[in-house]
Structure formats: structure tokens, C-alpha cells
Amino acid sequence: MEKDALRRADFKTGLTLIAFSLWFLAITLAFMPFRETYAGVENVWYVSPWIFPSIVLTLLLVLSVILTVNAVLRGAYGDVIEVPDGRLARFRLTRLGSLMMMALALASAAGLVFLVINIEKKIAFTIEEAQWLADPSTAEIFSWWDPFAIIPLVATSLVLILSLAILVAAAKRGQAAGSVLNGDGQWYRDEAFIRFAVIVLLFVELVYLLIPRVDFFVAVLAFLSTFTVCFHLDRADIIRRWMVLYLAIGAGVLLAFPTGLAGMVNGAIPHLTDVLILLAVVALMVVQWRETAADAAMRADYRTCLIIAWVTPSILTPVFRFGLLVPLPHEGAVVMFLHEVRYLLRQAGVLDLLSTGL
Amino acid sequence: MEILDILAALSDHFFLRVGEFGFKIWELITPANILILFGATILGIVFGALPGLTATLGVALLTTLTYGIDNNTAFIALLAIYVGAVYGGSYASILLNIPGTAAAAATAVDGYPLALRGEGGRALGMTTTASLIGTVFGLLCLILIAPMIIDLALKFTTFEKFWLAMFGITISGTLTSRDLVYKGWIAGLIGLWLACIGQEQLQTFPRYTQDLPELQGGIEVVPVLIGAFGIPQIIKVLRNRAALGKPAEFKRILPEFKTIARNLHHIFRSSGLGVFIGAIPGIGEDIAGWVSYGVAKNTSRHPETFGKGEVKAVVSTECANNACIGGALIPLLTLGIPGSPPAAMLLGALMLHDVTPGPMIEFENPGFIMGFTAILLLAACAMWISGMVLAKQVVKVLKIPPSLFMPIIGVLCVIGSYALGLQIINLYLMVPVGIVAYFLTEMEYPIAPLVIGVILGPMADENLRRGLMVANGDITEFFTRPWCIGLIVIIGLTIMTQIPAIRRAVERSWNRFAGGFVRPTDGNE
């Protein structure tokens, strides 16, 4: 990545890491036992489960702040220049101004976290033991709707929202700073981004939708067919159809399984959903095969994609299921069929012959 | 006479150890083991040769396949793929000018010009033999140094172990960062935080589990690492349309013993560097290759020849990156701290096979280090034979487009992550970890410290609290013990030397100090 783009990325990452560490620090301090009894055992502070995560998150917070400030100082959030149409932009910030706005955002975020923790005394240590954290005068317990709780909460939230809004607005209006949030152009049309998005989509659908609910063989067949076609072939129409089919399969699984429709269907005819998906994939393979008849090179590439899509699960499924004895995430139509084949082979004595031969 | 007695005792001990080593090798040589040895080595060479596939990913995927096999066979497969993959990177480096693995990046600088001159076969012959020598050097260091480290580590208490874990994170983050140094530290801290997820060891309090029973046991290391190393590679390789290109042609591959003999001093220096760098937690073979290249160039009488097909450059980098294997196994086996990312994966594999690396390894598994070293020697020999005999066939693999083999790797990552624990949550975690790891690598965050953090997190957490328990809450115990002070000083110096203001002050002081010994001259003298 170029240095300028890297510093802008550092700015965004830094803010994300600050938010991450503050959030989990709040959870750590609020919900982990400090001194009170846990599981029947009296606790002491030095064996409390929050010590190590707190140290780690605090160090992470410090380094994230350094990262963000460094990104700003090295030009991620550079001096705002005049906008091209000559109008004066609102929220024009100099480097110093942007640093101050960030500090204000950070301080208000930290204050908000502190208030959330201290209201209703969610943390177990007393104010006397943490003098450096709080003013003893706020040591009373408040409920959420008490004015002494609501007013600071609302005020701190407003300051945080306002400072972030100013930062974002200034970034959008300033040409150099605009790239902090919006990037240098229509990044979503960039081919590299599209390819990245497609890979992520393919994996997300495979892992979260198909693998837990569809036969492993069928899921991998659909995944590999789409993946290899999308990245190995250069025909937009073929790629589009495979993506539409793959997304349609995912949408169908998303609709049919949580609603119980798939259960009803599979109850009537076992593994019907697997068979339907398999048939859809095979049908598209056949249709596309015919369409590539005119182009020998395209057909050869398409054939290679299909071979990989079929051979890979054909090897992996029996190796993992019958060789390594790993139960597959979902064993549906094809895996059950392989079980039957194995049973028949064993009945016929073929498996015993093979094992003695080996 | 006393000296003679000592010498006699030493030589008895030496020959006893040699005999023990030979017996271990003899025990391992069975037809099935030899088949697996060569199969895994060739698979490793293929993994190393194909850009986008790494030794770490190869070891990770093979870990899932060897889960149910007996220990010796499993370790043969894992070490063979490790050695093969580190060596295999030189194929793409020399023939395509695209490093197959990061470890072979330095080899491309002089290896590819050699191939362009029609000396591709010679270059491959040199890298094959140099890799063998480097691996053997590394394993000799492992045998010699491991017992000393174990003796030292047995004297460590909880206080020293806590600082050792922090040292591992700090040094790994410092040396692997290519951009800002604190990016490495941030990666290490993220790894430490990930290790906190799950029931903690002392009170079994569930941390960050969101009431999910699947997270009570914490995050499984191997599936997460598969995601962290596999998915970013798939995305990186397929994100752009670039094809690999046609590999350079070459004729026979010869062992090049004469060339090796002429460069013996480079070999020993590079191997020593490789072992030293491998022994530092989380650094790995790629740094070893570049450091060795840099030293070879700086110490050469003709540095201008580097980059144009200099033989000693190729020999130095390959010796170093393979010697790094033995070096990385030293802290792995003796302290339980992996010296490189593939060693981190090996750590996961060892734990799966009920072998807990650390100072107690020889007590719980007598003769383990000797056996492991014997396997490493067999793997090195198999790598050399495969390289000499099968190079031309392996090179054909380079013609396979990434768009065909990367999707298969994706499926292997998915089934591999699931197969280890049979938990679907491992898959659910693998994808977001992989995507986050991709973004982190794009923004030049090193992943090795994150891996080290995940592995060393429990060690740091337990030893911190156990130490405080022993000291009844007195934290000064962490700062007053001799070894603790030493580790704190090293950590402190590592951090301080990265601060720009301090570096500039040190440089100015050094220039002033050095300037006092150099008499300024004018042109007339």
C-alpha cells in the first residue's frame, strides 16, 4: 500500500482499535469479579480474571492512540485545501484543529465509559480503592434515571457525537482529508475490490449457510463450480449465471431452513433439498457446457473447472468420512449414498479383499 | 589424568548419543514411514513452489490429516512438509522471479538472473544442496543446544515465565514489522486478548464468551491459524488477475558439490545466522533469508555482483532459511515458544498428539528431542533426493493457474478447520479471523506476533496471577529477580531503541564517539 493510503488506513484502524479496546475494557471492568466471592471462593484482586485482559487492553489503547496521532501527524488528515467549486467549506479544520477534535472525541468516549461503569456501581471495587479514577463526591449509588446520572450521560454523549460529526464533515469537505473516509474515488467499482467481495461472499455462504445444512459433497460442488468459473473463465455471462445460481441457493437455504419449510420437505422425501440443489447445479453445468461449444479454448477451461468441482469433493468426502473417520458437518443425500455403497461393498467382501491386499 | 578421564567420559557420552541417534533413525525406517516421508516432502515442495501457499498452511492442513495417526508417522509427515515447503519456495523464486514463500524472497534476487543466463539447473542444484546442509546444521544445533536450554528453563519460576512470554511478543513484534514497529506490538496484543476468550485457568471464570458454551474452552488455535494464514493468501492471490508466467527452462540438476565446497565459509556463517534468527520467537525463515543475504553482500569483496546472479547469495539465503527450521524448533521444544509461524503450527500439532513442549518434555516423553531430530534428518535427506530427482516434474505444477488450485485450498481450509475439533464454531470463527487477518496484512501488520500472542497468552496470564499469588500480591517480585531483570532490560532496550528520538540521540552520541577516533583528513594527505 502506498504510504499516504497506509496512513489514512492507520487513522481508521486506530480509531477502530480505540473503540474496540474501550468497549472491551468497559466489559472487563464491569462484569468480571474483582474482590467479591466467586464460585464460593473469596477473591483477591491479584487473582482476579480481569487483571491480564485489562493490562492487555490498556496497552492496546495506548498504542492505538499513538497510531492514530501518528497517522494524523504524517498527513492522513492533512490540511484542508479549498474545495474545487471555490465555496468555503464548513468545518474546515487545520491539523491542530483536527487533533483537538480527536482528543475531545477520545475524552468524551472515555468519560462515557467511566459513567456507564460507575452508575449503579457495576464494578466491585470501591471508590476509596480507586481514588485516581473518581471523585469521592460521586461515590453514591445512582440509578439510571437519576438526574445526576442522566445529565452527565447525555452531555458526554452529545460531546462525543458532535466531535465525531465535525471530524466526519470536515473529512468529507476537505480534499485531502476527504480521502480519509471516502477514499480516492469509487473504490467499490475497482476490479480488485469486486474480486475480494466475491471471494468473501463465496466463503460466507459456504461456511454460514451451506456447510451446516446441506450435504457436504453438494455444498463443496456448488462452491467450487462457482469459484473456479468466476476466477478462471473470462466470460461475463457465464460468471453471472453461476453467481446468480449460487446466491439463489444461499437465499433458498436462508428462507427454507429457519422457517421449517426444509424440515417439512425433507420429512416428506428424505434429503430432497440436497437433491434439488444438486440438480440445479448439474443443470447449469449442462446448459453452460452447450453454450461453450463454439469456443474450443473456453470449453477446455470450462471442462477443467468442472473436473475440479467434481473430483475434489469426490476425493475429500470418502477420505475424511471413511478414511479418517471424521463425521462431516452435514451428511445428506450423497454421503448417505456413499454409506450405502460402502455397505454393499463390505457385504460383497470387496473391502476385506482390499484391506488384506494392502 | 583428570583431563583424560574427562575426555574419555565426553567421548563415551558422544558415542552413546550417536548410537542412540542411529537407533532412532533405524526405528523410523519402515516402508509406510518412507512412503509418507517422500509423499509429504514432495507435497511440501509443491506447497512451497506455488506462490500463495506457505509452509505454515501446509503444516496446518496436514495436521488435520494426521490427527488420528500414531505420533512418529504424524511427525514424519509434518516435518517433511515443513522442510519441503521452506526449500520449495526457491523453485518459483529462481524460475519465475516470484517467491514461492516469503522465505525464498531473497533467493529470487540472484536466483532468477542465474536462470535467465541458462543456469537455472545449476541454481536449483545449489539451493537443494545448500538447503540440506542448512537443515543438518540446524538439527545439530538443536541436539547440542536444547539440553542446555532445558536446564536453564527448569530454573525458571512463574515470574521469569511471565517475562519470557512478554519478551516473545515484544521481540516478535519488533523484528517482523515492516512499517511502524508498534503495529507488530498491536498485533501481539490482539493475539494476547484473543487468548483471554474462554474459561480462565485459575478460577474458571468465563471471559468474553457471550454465554456461548462453544466458547467456554476458548478459541481453538489451529483453526484460527488456518483462517489467518489461508484466507488472506487466497484473497491476495486471486484479487488481481496476474498470471504466474512461464517458468524459465533448465536442464539437469546437479548437486554442485564443488560450488558448495568453495563457499563453505558462507554456508557456515549463513547457517549460524539462520539458527540464531530461528531461535528468536516468531521471526521465521523470511527474515533469516534476508539477513543472511544482507550479511553476505556486506562482507563480500565485490558487493556490486549481488543482484546479477551471484552464487554465494543463493547459497547463503537457502542455507539460512533451512537452518532456521532447526533454530525455530529449539525454543519450541524446550520452552514451548515457537520460533516461526510454521513452528507455531507444529506446536498445535504436538499438543493434539499429547506432547506438551516445554522444559518437562524430556521427562514426560524421554528421548523425544532425539527422535524429533532424527525425523528432521530423514526429512532433509528426502528433500535433497526429491529435489535432485523430481525437480522437473515439480516445476510442471508451476504451470497450474492459481484460479484452479486456490479454490481447492479454500475447501481444504474449511474441512481442515472443522475436522480438528468437529465444532462448527471453528468454521464460524475462521472466516472473520481470515478477513481481519487479510486487512491487517494489507495495512502491513505482521501476523506472526498475533500468532505468538494467541499461543503465549495463557502462559503470560497464568504466570502473572500465579506469581502474584505466590508473592501475596507483592508485584516487586516481578522486578527484583535476576533473570527477570535481564528480561526486563532486554524488553526495555527493544522498545526504547524503536523510539525515534532515542534512536537519533544514540546515533548522535555514537557519531561523536566514533568521530573522536577518526582524524579528519584533507585531500593533500
Report the complex ipTM: 0.82
Q: Is B305 exposed, middle or buried (0-12, 13-18, 19+ CB in 10 A)?
A: middle
| CA A219, chain centre distance (Å) | 21
Q: Hey, which of A105-109, A123-127, A143-147 has the most confident mean pLDDT?
A: A105-109
What is the pLDDT, as a whole number, of residue A246?
Answer: 93
Residues A211 and A305 in one domain: yes
What is the pLDDT, as a whole number, of residue B513?
Answer: 72
Q: How confident is the model at residue A148 (pLDDT cuts 50, 70, 90)?
A: low
- Cβ-defined contact of B238 to A316 (cutoff 8 Å): no
Q: pLDDT (tens digit, 9 = 90+) per residue, A253-307?
A: 988 888 888 888 888 888 899 999 999 999 999 998 888 888 888 899 899 999 9
Residues A176 and A309 in one domain: no
Residue written as cell 548410537? B19
Question: Of B185, B240, B465, which is closest to A63 when you measure between CB atoms?
Answer: B185
Residue B474: pLDDT above 60?
yes
Q: Which amino acid is at B9?
A: A
Residues A212 and A342 in one domain: yes
* Terminal Cα distance for chain A, rounded: 54
Contact (CB, 8 A) for A13 and A67 = yes
Q: How far is B228 from chain A (nearest CA, A)?
A: 14
Q: Hey, which of A60-74, A142-156, A219-233, B411-425 has the most confident mean pLDDT?
A: A219-233
Residue B220: pLDDT above 70?
yes
Boundary of a domain, candidates A134, A169, A185 = A185
Residues A172 and A202 in one domain: no
- Phi/psi for A293 (5° steps) reads -60, -35
Residues A142 and A51 in one domain: yes
- Phi/psi for A253 (5° steps) reads -65, -40
What is the pLDDT, as a whole number, of residue B41?
Answer: 94
B146 membership: H or E segment, kind and range: helix B120-153
Q: Which of B84-93, B149-158, B512-521 has the lowest mean pLDDT?
A: B512-521
Question: Of A1, A63, A204, which is closest to B182 when you measure between CB atoms?
Answer: A63
Question: How many domains does chain A fold into?
Answer: 2
What is the pLDDT, as a whole number, of residue B242?
Answer: 60
Residue written as cell 456413499? A338
Distances in Å between the Cα of A116 and the Cα atoms of A25, A53, A137 are: 12, 19, 17
Number of CB atoms found within 10 A of residue A141's CB: 10
Domain of A336?
Answer: 189-357
Tell me the chain B residues in contact with residue A53 when contact means C-beta distances shorter than 8 Å.
Answer: 193, 196, 207-208
What average pLDDT does the segment A208-225 reach? Answer: 94
Residues A101 and A165 in one domain: yes
What average pLDDT does the segment A137-142 reach? Answer: 48
Residue written as cell 429457519? A258
Residue written as cell 556490486? B304
Radius of gyration of chain A measured on its C-alpha atoms: 30
Task: Show Cβ contacts of residue B75 under 8 Å, excluding neighbours closer than 6 positions.
Answer: B349, B353, B371, B372, B375
Nearest chain B residue to A61, by CA = B186
Boundary of a domain, candidates A140, A163, A185 = A185
Residues A224 and A349 in one domain: yes
Contact (CB, 8 A) for A306 and B404 = no
Q: How far is B242 from chain A (nearest CA, A)?
A: 11
Nearest chain B residue to A204, by CA = B431
What is the pLDDT, as a whole number, of residue A356?
Answer: 58
Q: Is A156 exposed, middle or buried (0-12, 13-18, 19+ CB in 10 A)?
A: buried
* Terminal Cα distance for chain B, rounded: 61
Helix, strand or coil, per DSSP, at residue B216:
coil
Q: How confident is the model at residue A108 (pLDDT cuts 50, 70, 90)?
A: confident
Q: How confident is the model at residue B217 (pLDDT cuts 50, 70, 90)?
A: confident
B207 has which bridge partners? Answer: B198
Mutation for testing the A interface, residue in B61, B65, B162, B414 having most A CBs under 10 Å: B414
- Phi/psi for B198 (5° steps) reads 115, -175
Q: How far is B442 from chain A (nearest CA, A)?
A: 7
Helix, strand or coil, per DSSP, at residue B52:
coil
- Cβ-defined contact of B469 to A47 (cutoff 8 Å): yes
Q: Is A268 exposed, middle or buried (0-12, 13-18, 19+ CB in 10 A)?
A: exposed
Q: How far is A340 from chain B (nearest CA, A)?
A: 23
Q: How far is B62 from chain A (nearest CA, A)?
A: 12
What is the pLDDT, as a whole number, of residue B209?
Answer: 82
- Cβ-defined contact of B190 to A60 (cutoff 8 Å): yes
Question: Of A66, A207, A327, which is closest to B428 when you measure between CB atoms?
Answer: A207
Tell me the chain A residues in contact with residue B461 when contact means C-beta distances shorter than 8 Å.
Answer: 52
Helix, strand or coil, per DSSP, at residue A38:
strand
What is the pLDDT, as a whole number, of residue A149?
Answer: 64
Boundary of a domain, candidates A185, A212, A242 = A185
B329 membership: H or E segment, kind and range: helix B311-335
Written as nine digits, the cell of A249 is 441457493
Q: How confident is the model at residue B300 (pLDDT cuts 50, 70, 90)?
A: confident
DSSP A88: P
Q: How confident is the model at residue B76 (pLDDT cuts 50, 70, 90)?
A: very high
Residues A13 and A157 in one domain: yes
Q: How far is B423 from chain A (nearest CA, A)?
A: 8
Q: Measured on CA atoms in the order A113, A115, A118, A122, is the torsion positive or negative?
A: negative
Distances in Å between the Cα of B221 and the Cα atoms of B210, B228, B353 are: 19, 10, 14
Written as nine digits, the cell of B473 is 500480591
Nearest chain B residue to A71, by CA = B180
Residues A164 and A241 in one domain: no
Tell me the chain B residues in contact with residue A64 when contact means C-beta distances shorter than 8 Å.
Answer: 186
Tell me the chain A residues in contact with residue B412 when contact means C-beta distances shorter than 8 Å.
Answer: 316
Contact (CB, 8 A) for B242 and B400 = no
Residues A167 and A197 in one domain: no
Tell me the chain B residues in contact with residue A305 when contact means C-beta distances shorter than 8 Å.
Answer: 404
Residues A39 and A175 in one domain: yes
Q: Which of A55-64, B231-240, B323-332, B377-386 has the lowest mean pLDDT?
A: B231-240
Residue A86: pLDDT above 50?
no
Residues A141 and A237 in one domain: no
